[in-house]
Amino acid sequence: MKRIVLFSISIIASIFLINPDLFGQNEEEIPKIKIFGVGMHIEQFNTVDIWMVGITTVPVNKIVFTISPIKNFRLEPEIGFSSFNDRTTDLSYKSLNIGIGGFGMYQLGKTNFYGGLRFEYADMANEYVQSSSGNGVVVGTEKTTRLEIGPALGAEYFFGSHFSLGGEIGLRHMNIKTNGEQYSGSTNEKKYFTSNMGILLRFYF
């Protein structure tokens, strides 16, 4: 799935790069940073996933709302939701992610550079088979909260005055607390420090 997303974005980016006048904008025009925007934060790339298998660390794609009240500052709230059911067991996993970022910005031609902090809160519920017998299946629910904060650096390139494509890298400190851990039912708290990266598509009004 990741490869499909990256391949699709690469094609779209190539089209825009080959056709700089696609939005009727010549090379001399410099887009003005607009106050409001909305977009998608595709964030399925965390290095922590390489060495640790754990659904509690997996990010979700989020809708972002861009607010730039002044030329060199941006607030970016974001929200994402993930839900799926196992067809075999009918067990479910649900995740709600809410975050916000604050950034200073510097525009150079059609490229806007930014840097600052991102904060995110995630609430997750993961069902599992606690016990099974002739009387049926007892389902348990593992509930997890995740707090993370860290610096982020990014850049976006404007194709016309309303659309931009960008990338972002950052570091995240995660605090993960699990209640009703599978099978033991205990409370467990972990801390992680990891890098992350994402792709952002934004549309400005």
Is the entire prediction scored with pTM above 0.85?
no
How long, in residues, is the chain? 205
Of 82, 90, 85, the closest CA to residue 139 belongs to 90
Task: Compute the half-sphere exposure of residue 151: CA atoms within 13 Å on the CB side of its CA.
Answer: 4
Give the residue, 13 or 53, on which the prediction is more confident.
13
Is 57 strand, coil or helix? helix
For 147, the token pair is 């707090």
pLDDT at 76: 98
- Average of per-residue pLDDT values in the chain: 81
Distance CA 120, CA 179 (A): 19
pLDDT digits (tens, 9 = 90+) for 54-70: 555 666 789 999 999 99
Using CA atoms, how far residue 44 sits from 17, 41, 106, 135, in Å, is 25, 9, 26, 40
- Residue 32 makes CB contacts below 8 A (sequence gap 6+) with 161
Q: Is residue 112's pLDDT more than 90?
A: yes
| Residues 147-159: tens digit of each pLDDT | 999 999 999 999 9
